[in-house]
Structure 1
Amino acid sequence: MDNHLILPAFYLPPVSYFRAIQSTALPILIEQYEHYPKQTYRTRASICSANGKLDLIVPVQGGNKGHTQMKDVKISYEWDWQRLHWMSLQTAYRSSAYFEYYEDDFLPFYQQRYEWLLDYNVAQLELLLRLLKIERSLGRTESYYPDYAPQLDFRNSIHPKRANPTITDKPYYQVFENKHGFLSNLSVVDLLFNQGLQSKGYL
């Protein structure tokens, strides 16, 4: 499968995820057979709030089980995280230049209940690719394969706990930059809500 870019399914992925997509014109395969790893961008998105970096975390059922395939991970609705996430996005970005322009695209993800985390994340990715005007074929893996070409395999390299020294973000305007300075590699929605149609050029 060295003719595809292999990506994990992230929740509102970070800027570096879309940098990886823009690094090649290859079609994308989303990994669905990996064992679900905890504390990654698969359930976590980072945004810039008035108090600094804020992580939005999607709760999952049986989150402590380490051998569940990604395609079988179910979202938990024991508490109303959708309402909290949407309120956090509104509070963080309502004064940004483009939030109002895009909010109707994102609101359904905080009203409709998805059963499977993979479906939720992939549906968001499809929307983000469309809004960023990035044209890519998007498919899913048919089995787990451990040894893709390293330059095409991003399943483990983009991680909230590990800094990537090869990624340096040129600053763009952020709503709370005057309070916290520029925060790099946040969710791509931070870029989109602040830069709008210029986001693709930034990537």
Structure 2
Amino acid sequence: MDLILHPSYFIDVVSLVHLYHSNQIILEVNDNYVKQTYRNRCYIAAANGKLALNIPIIHQKSGGSVPYKSIEINRSEDWATQHLKSIKSAYNSSPFYEYYEADLQELFSDIPQFLMDWNLKTFHWILNLLKISKPIITSAEYLDDTKARQLVTAKQAPILLTRSYIQVFQEKHGFLNALSALDLIFNLGPSAGVFLKDQLDLLKE
């Protein structure tokens, strides 16, 4: 089964479950930029609940659609430093944050000009940490896939409710579904792969 994905900022856990149980990944690189999606945001579990980390972009002066691949990150704002601070504040007490902190800082030390390139970089970084190896290709034209659009949309209920795992601040806020894969990695570490594997039956319901 192939899975089409729009490159997003630190892929969310629901998309990661679908990815883990797919045979091949097709990265959609010919779409238009759409607001209110995971293209320029991800969510983490912070002390006050679900927290959005947003990447500022340079808005192009165009009345029509703008290709996603042409969207540039707005470097006039020091968003990267703020994101790293927020991630550390949220996960410093998690079981595995300290093991990945240096790698995360190294990742942020070189941020590409274009949003899609940065998202692809975070995508491959996540897969490498989780030791997930899948055939990955890029789309030759826009594929207009319904599931891909659903997975990348941030302002709607996720298309899958995963089983819970222990999260930081869970006693305060309950389990938060569909967070960034960072949440899964910092809380479960090497066991994240086992968690992803155990979600297979949910995809068949």
- Structure 2 length as normaliser, TM-score? 0.88
CA contact (8 A) 2:73 2:113 kept: yes
1:37–1:111 CA distance, 2 compared to 1 (3 A): same
For the 8 Å contact 2:28–2:143, the answer to whether it is kept is: no
Pairwise CA distance, 1:160: 1.6
Check whether the contact 2:91–2:186 (CA below 8 A) recurs between aligned residues. Answer: yes
List runs of 5+ in structure 1 lacking aligned partners: none
**Closer, same or farther in 2 for the Cα pair 1:40/1:194, shift >3 Å?**
same
Structure 1 residue ranges, 4+ long, deviating more than 4 angstroms after superposition: 63-66
Secondary structure of the residue aligned to 1:154 is helix
3-state SS in 1 of match to 2:137 = strand
Higher helix share: 2
Number of residues of Structure 1 aligned to a counterpart in Structure 2? 195
1:77 maps to 75
Q: Per-residue deviation at 1:102?
A: 1.0
Gaps in structure 2 of 5+ consecutive residues:
197-205
Give distance in 2, aligned partners of 1:56 and 1:63.
Answer: 21
Does the 8 Å contact 1:82/1:111 carry over to 2?
A: no
1:36 to 20, 33, 36: 33
Query: Aligned-pair distance for 1:111?
Result: 2.4
CA distance in 1, matches of 2:152, 2:112: 24
Deviation at 1:17, TM superposition (A): 0.8
Which range moves more in the overlay, 60-69 or 11-20? 60-69
Q: CA–CA distance in 1 between the matches of 2:86 and 2:77?
A: 15
Secondary structure in 2 matching 1:41: coil
Equivalent in the alignment of 2:166: 173
Superposed counterparts of 1:112-123, under 5 Å: 112-123=110-121
Identity between Structure 1 and Structure 2 (%)? 34
1:92 to 87, 90, 97: 90
RMSD over equivalenced CA pairs, Å: 1.8
How far apart are residue 63 of structure 1 and its match?
6.1
Number of the residue aligned with 2:150: 156
- Residues 29 and 69 in structure 2, CA contact (< 8 A), matched pair in contact too: yes
Instruction: State the AA in 1 paired with 2:155.
Output: K
